[in-house]
A and B are shown apart, each in its own frame.
Chain A
Amino acid sequence: MPDASRSRYLPQQALLLLVAVLFPVCLYVVFAVAPTEQKMGVVQRIFYFHVPSALSAFLGVTLCAAASAIYLWKRDRRFDLVAHASAELAVLFCTIVLVTGPIWARPVWGVWWTGEARLTSTLVLWLIFAGYLVLRGSAENADQAARWGAIVAVVGFLDLPIIYKSVEWWRGLHPKVLKASGGQGLDPTMEKTLLLCTLTFFLLFGYLLMERCRLGRLQDEVEALVHAARRTGAAAGRRSP
């Protein structure tokens, strides 16, 4: 048995090794190879962590909603593990986005935060999936947590485009100078750096997802063992007196 579980663990170890190699490479490329942006200066380099985090967060949300929908349909525990892990990762990467964004915005825009469409919808996204985790935590058992989580994930995912559209209209009526945040005309070296960083973040996402799912499986196993032990213990207790 230990051999089988070890061979199942192999892809994760390979992934971990790859991420461990790629992250220093990323750091080197971001700080030493990519050119410094003319207007914003050095602070622009946070972009290479900000955008991959945002993409990873959206990957997490999409994966969570898809796994949740499949869970409700098939009622297979494995899909719930994926959904739960994806939601946690979505909240994690979304937090990185919400932290790196203001650090960049303060010197460039002059403010930490503004009610711009993308900022506001990212915050709402974070709130919805943080609520998802709190609701799961409040459930009485794993089955309830899985069903409730799936409902919130599906509703939240359906809601995202509507939230984005509504926030866009809300601010769209007050045009501001913030449109320059788009990625048109990115320098080729910058573009390659961004691609490398995104790939690294996605690999990290994949590794964390696999680890979290494994942890979930182990938790299930422990719970089953504890349950079984209690039952035999109770049975033994009944027999002995």
Chain B
Amino acid sequence: MTYLRAVGLVAAKDLKTELRSREQAVTLLFFALLVLVVFNFAFDFTIIDFVTFGAGILWVSFIFAGVLAISRSFQIEREQDRIQGILLAPVDRSAFYLGKVAASILFMSAVEAIVLPLSVLMFNYRFGPRIGLALLVLILNTIGFAAVGTLFACMTTQTRRGELLLPLLLFPAAVPISLAAVKATGHILAGRPFERYASWIALSCAYDIIFLAAAVLLFDYALDD
């Protein structure tokens, strides 16, 4: 119980910091929207159907914003060595990891919750009755991305070229997530039957479980003693 409480406290701390400073949310949101705008210029959507490219465009925006969110989440801890204070607490260090993952998932979800409706307006498409499934795909892949990203960010932010290093490690490792997310979202946008993309959803679930478990075991080694 104290373990879960520690996880909650770490996540709540990040949320509280963010609610007070509001520096991340605004930047992330504008960045994600900007990616959509760039795509809007890059492709002529009066000719191209959004259904064909939409899933890829949405996920490029979410994943780029996600890398920034995860990277920032650990930079905050490095400033003034705040991380030392947390690590001195008498709980398992994996609780700190899971708390950070939870906070990153919340930040990414917040961006997605705003960008998704705006993209509907911008690109003039509709999810139809499958919006529930779309949300499931969104959250499953956000979890996987945050799970691996948080583990890597803990290491990369300790280096001088952290912001450059995180995408270098995270993007290749998150290939299954990007593929599963784009494919499943694409099938949902095209209104295809569930059987066509059920295996992608299963893959995302497997990825989430495997890497959350692996990261909980490995996280301790990412920190200096």
A interface vs B, CB < 8 Å? 72, 124, 127-128, 131, 134-135, 138-140, 144, 147-148, 150-152, 154-156, 158-159, 162-163, 165-167, 169-170
Contact = CB atoms under 8 A, between A and B. Distances in A.
A165 B202 CA distance: 12
Binding site of B, secondary structure by majority: helix, strand, loop or mixed? helix
A158 B161 contact: no
Interface string B183-225: 1000000000000000110010011001100110010011010
B159 A138 contact: yes
A166 B174 CA distance: 11
A120 B187 CA distance: 22
Contact of B173 (A148, A156, A169): A156
Nearest to B173: A159
A129 B222 CA distance: 17
B184 to A, nearest CB: 11
A138 B179 CA distance: 29
Interface string B134-177: 00000000000000100110011011110001001101110110
B102 interface: no
A129 to B, nearest CB: 9
Given A128-B173, A159-B173, A162-B206, A154 B218 contact: yes
A170 B183 contact: yes
Contacts of A159: 173, 175-176, 211
Contacts of B33: none
A131 B151 contact: no
Contacts of B158: 140, 144
B172 A127 contact: yes
A134 B175 CA distance: 19
Contacts of B115: none
B203 A152 contact: no
Binding site of A, secondary structure by majority: helix, strand, loop or mixed? helix
A158 B214 contact: yes
Nearest to B221: A147
B171 to A, nearest CB: 8
Interface of B: 148, 151-152, 155-156, 158-161, 165, 168-169, 171-173, 175-176, 179-180, 183, 199-200, 203, 206-207, 210-211, 214-215, 218, 221-222, 224
A133 to B, nearest CB: 11
B199 A169 contact: yes
Given A124-B175, A127-B172, A155 B159 contact: no
A144 B155 CA distance: 9
Which of A138, A154, A162 gathers most chain B CB within 10 Å? A162
Closest 5 pairs between A and B when the two form their complex, measured CB to CB: A127-B172, A138-B159, A166-B176, A131-B169, A147-B221
B218 A162 contact: no
A150 B214 CA distance: 12
Given A139-B159, A155-B173, A148 B207 contact: no
Contacts of B152: 152
Contact of B203 (A131, A134, A139, A165): A165
A162 B210 contact: yes
Contact of B161 (A138, A151, A162, A169): A138
B179 A170 contact: yes
Given A148-B155, A166-B175, 20 more contacts: A124-B172, A124-B175, A127-B172, A131-B165, A134-B165, A135-B156, A135-B165, A139-B159, A140-B158, A147-B221, A148-B222, A150-B221, A152-B152, A154-B218, A155-B214, A155-B215, A165-B176, A165-B203, A167-B179, A169-B183
Nearest to B199: A169
Contact of A144 (B171, B211, B224): B224
Contacts of B218: 72, 151, 154-155
A194 B109 CA distance: 51
A162 B207 contact: yes
B25 to A, nearest CB: 29
Given A155-B218, A162-B203, A162-B210, A167 B175 contact: yes
Which of B161, B173, B183 gathers most chain A CB within 10 Å? B173
Contact of B151 (A135, A155, A169): A155
A148 B157 CA distance: 12
B168 to A, nearest CB: 5
